[in-house]
Chain A
Amino acid sequence: MNSFSFDSKRCERIRQHLDSYLSNELLVETTSEVVQHLENCQGCSRELDARIRVRDVLQRAVVSRPVPDSIRADVMHKLRESQVRSFAGVGVRRWALGLAALAAIVVGLFTTEWLSLRRGEQLIESILKLGLSDHLICAVREHNYPEVANPPDQIRKKLGPRYAPLLQVVQERLPGYDVLEGHICSIPGSDRKYIHFIARAHGTILSVILTERSGATFPRENLLVTADSDSLGIYENRLSGMEIAGFESGQYFAFVVSDLSEKELLQLARGLAPGLNETLHKTTPVLPAKAATKWVKRGSSQG
């Protein structure tokens, strides 16, 4: 077999995965295989760019289609009309009451509650995506960790005095995991910095990520389920095949990201949260801690 046919076959195989890669639907192992191949193959990399371009021009074009202002009014009219039909023959008073109830449902549920819940879900999702993107880019795609764990002193040096104490917490609170790497990183095109720990157990890569909240906060109205009073509020969701848990700690969002099951990841996040919280409060200037976050709730139903 010559190298040409080998490469062609490999490219062919990778290209079969490109659609799912583009939709973030690949398993982590395959994603990593695709990413590694893309780094070394200009042809496939260009092919991916072309596919991304097709998606981008499509998105742009579809969104450019105007939505007539009249639609909203027409929908409301249709709903009222249907309600009038439903209440016909039951007397004016009940009809009027019915209409008022409909208006309340439409205005109340369709706009306020739906929107508020949806906004809450979107907000949780967008916050969790901060951690997800750093994990996918820095750990999965860029593979920024060694096969054998970096010496702790080296990691502490990279983290600087402010964040170095976090290493011990991560090492202690992730039983069975080797902490391979710790550093401060950023995502191209973003000013945001991430304190990023990469750990591994039985071939599973896990990221612990901290980033400044900059005033953002998880929406309290989406929290429904109480957890035990000592724990911090942990939000959790599955996005792009990854399980992500997040919580607030002083000025920071903390995330734990991996392709573990929800139960496994939440267990690790619960173990990490108090230690990280305590250490962050000791080592960094914090705002008054509002530890009224005794809730656990899935971010949205995407998973």
Chain B
Amino acid sequence: MAYLLIFFPLLMAAVAALIKSNRVRPYLLPLAAVPHCVVSFVVVFNSSLADTTTWLSLDPIGKIVLLIVSTLFMFCSFYAVPYLHYRSERQNRMFVMCLLGFLGAITLVTWSQHLGLMWVAIEATTLATAPLIYFNHTRLSIEAMWKFLMIGSVGIALALLGTFFIAYSSLHAGLGATLTYGVLLQNAPLLSKIWLHAAFILLLVGYGTKMGLAPMHTWKPDAYGESPGLVGAIFAGVTTSCAFLAFLRIYHICVAAGEFAYISKLLLFMGFLSMIVAALFMIRQRDLKRMLAYSSIEHMGILIIGLGIGTPALYGTLLHIITNGLTKGVLFLSVGNIHRAYGSKNTDQVHGALRLLPLSGTMLLAAFLAITGSPPFGPFISEFAIVTGAFEGKHFFSGGLFLVLLCVVFIGMGVTVLNAVQGNVPNEVKDKMSFRDGFVNGAPVVALMILVLFLGIYIPQPLRDLINEAVLFLGGQS
């Protein structure tokens, strides 16, 4: 099953290279994504089907991330077809190939049980996504792609060094060098502490760069801002979740080694720094996509804070991977529609989106409420669980600061979003109007939003079990 899930998208990427028609090629995306999603669901909820090899197997945290990644990618692939047809003047061969190759690499991340292999897969996702940023072929997109590639590659290189340090900590303890996740977990208490600490810091910086934690976040607003909304959704929902998964495995090893007290402070510091930076830059932000990039930085901060609080907040943190990913999908896809209709993503030009694009405008507004943690949406449940965990774990200061920052973000983001959706549509936009809300570009967004709402009202039992299983796996109590 693992090979099927990993190589099927790669095979489709090869097919995409062979297809000549610019119009037919985008259909390969849903053609690969739908079976991928179906098989992923079957494998996750029917573990007997998930055969395992030495390096490939699905652990509970991998399952959660595989679910969100595959689901979000599928909805994005539905959205991609009309988008690429709308932009038919652009060659989309590279774009489609990179997206499919990316799906294969990201699946490998969720399955890998060898930290070296996981690193290779994560670096592969960086390389596959760099050309996606350049889809618009503008000077600004070149700049964004360059920054993304350089900062991302250097960050990931540090993660490789950190990975080697983990192997060295095992070698130093006289256990032989190994990078197999299961073996490292077993031997965790014996690992050489000083090398493990050094490894943790390098990996926090390395995978943190990929997640976009402050202060390594500088590439993020540029890359998210200049790439198509579709790519933004994939970055903010899929790539970041996978980078977080990679980091979660490292966290797991350190916790198993009895180092929670040491890493907790670092995590809380990095998490709050990211939230503060994001909140400050979101105030008076006029660029919608850059605003969403800062929102992504904020939510990566929230996930890291959840880990820093530890056991009481783990359930909320794992749930937040899912709710954040889905909501980011709605946000980026609806902003993508708005960007196309107005020819701008700046609130200097974008006014009255609710009138011009009733569907996308409403979705943006609803997703804004969801991502800032308003009930009755999914992120409310997960953020509430994290806050509860913070107070349960006696982190009163952290819990309080967390709530204050959520308020700042709500106000900052609210001003920008309300500016965009309310008011009158500028006349010059009304006249040239070439893009409207339709079924094909609206349905995927609405479907994602329904999922976000659904998770806010009711979390299905199998999903609840899965998350509890993952909490147990990470060493907490369910």
Instruction: State yes or no: do A and B come from one complex.
Output: no
Q: Which residues of A contact B (CB under 8 A)?
A: none
Residues of B whose CB lies within 8 Å of any CB of A are none
